[in-house]
Amino acid sequence: MNIAVIGLGHVGLAYALLFASKYKVVAYDIDSVKINNLKKGILPSKNEELMKFFCENNLNITFFDTFSEIKNNIDYYIIALPTDYDEKIGSFNTYEIEQTVSKILRVKPNGKIILKSTVPIGFSNKLKRLFDTKNIIFVPEFLREGCSIYDNLYPSRIVVGDETVEGRKIAELFLSISTHSTANIKNVMLVSPTEAEAIKLFSNTFLALRVAFFNELDSFAERRSLNAEVVIKGVCLDPRIGNFYNNPSFGFGGYCLPKDTKQLKKEFIEINAPVIEAIDISNTNRKQFIVKQILERKPKIVGIYKLGMKYNSDNYKESAILSIINELLIVGIKILVYEPNLNVSIDNVIFEKNFELFTKQSDLIVANRWDRGLEAYKDKVYTRGIWIRD
């Protein structure tokens, strides 16, 4: 079987590598630097799980940065392109997906296209009408950042936006890169395209809601001088709530939760949805609360310990700490950043590579996530993370 994966971000690259362990894969991305590095065996991320899979498996994969190099012998085209939320249009920007589908169908009019990109509800059917084809099927991904290989090997569920025989074939395709456990097979859902799109958006929005809930709990605990860890543990011992995804943070961020929450809120055009509408507000309030707590400690120099959105992450897209840095700069606080995992720059911010100098110069060290490297300096660390996990 020949599979083309289009878009090699953290989702697309994971699928490209996994399918290449079973089938012949061509992997395409417009980023020529990324493609050249992949050809040399250099991954764009420092993700250990991905690197291990890449190095330890015999993969049948070819990388391209020119679309025309993809031959027309492809059985399935998997599109994993970004769909950022565009504030001007009030929706996901799906332009690149539409252009890519057009290119595929020009080369192969009966090409079978699997959408992995998160899209607005109703988008799959819109594409089918636009291109007069039934061969566009939305199959949402539910991959945690940093666990994309594991989550494909042991998927919580496989949802396919097609209730026909073709939908079953696609489900079996994704099962073929999993562990084939009985639980996985039981959790296959063949649903309508719009139901699949709704499942994806509601799933991520609930995760954002859960983050916001425990952050509000933590804000309450800090203001009332309560032990947040004790309160969270007591709440989460209830199996209906569960002791997971409950570690307080400075706010949710990253590739998915902020944009997906905005998109779902937009979908409620004629339906009153105060809970959905409040999630983004809660996240903004949490970041403002953190800024206030930092300023109450009256530091002149604030050291930011890593920019990552999650524990042990090299993704800082829409990371809450960026908003906090901006607010602190506005009131004249000098910002020092220690970030060994990323090569980035921020206006009016000093980056210090030497950890000892960083800790020495900082009046207060602010860390979205606690780790053992901060243990010796815990008296000058401000964090709301309780456990060394997300």
Active site residue 256: yes
> Binding residue per annotation — 154?
no
> Binding residue per annotation — 145?
yes
> Binding residue per annotation — 258?
no
> Binding residue per annotation — 100?
no
Return the bridge partners of 27, or none.
5, 63
In contact, 228 and 221? CB cutoff 8 Å: yes
Helix/strand/coil (H/E/C) assignment for every residue in 161-189: CCCCHHHHHHHHHHHCCCCCCHHHHHCEE
How many CB atoms within 10 Å of residue 145? 21
> Binding residue per annotation — 246?
yes
> Binding residue per annotation — 126?
no
| Closest to 173 measured CA to CA, from 155, 150, 199 | 155
SS3 55: helix
> What is the phi/psi pair of residue 349, to 5°?
-120, 135
Catalytic residue among 55, 147, 236, 256: 256
> Binding residue per annotation — 144?
yes
> Binding residue per annotation — 168?
no
> Binding residue per annotation — 200?
yes
Residue type present at position 375: E
> Binding residue per annotation — 218?
no
> Binding residue per annotation — 383?
no
In contact, 248 and 242? CB cutoff 8 Å: no
> Binding residue per annotation — 205?
no
In contact, 106 and 36? CB cutoff 8 Å: no
Long-range contacts, 317-321 (Cβ 8 Å, 24+) = 317/253, 317/254, 317/255, 318/253, 318/254, 318/258, 319/253, 319/254, 319/368, 320/249, 320/250, 320/251, 320/252, 320/253, 320/283, 320/286, 320/287, 320/290, 320/368, 321/250, 321/366, 321/368
> Binding residue per annotation — 372?
no
Annotated binding residues for substrate, as ranges? 142-145, 200, 245-249, 253, 309-310
Annotated binding residues, as ranges? 29, 34, 83, 118, 142-145, 200, 245-249, 253, 259, 309-310
Annotated binding residues for NAD(+), as ranges? 29, 34, 83, 118, 145, 259
**Which residues are designated catalytic?**
256
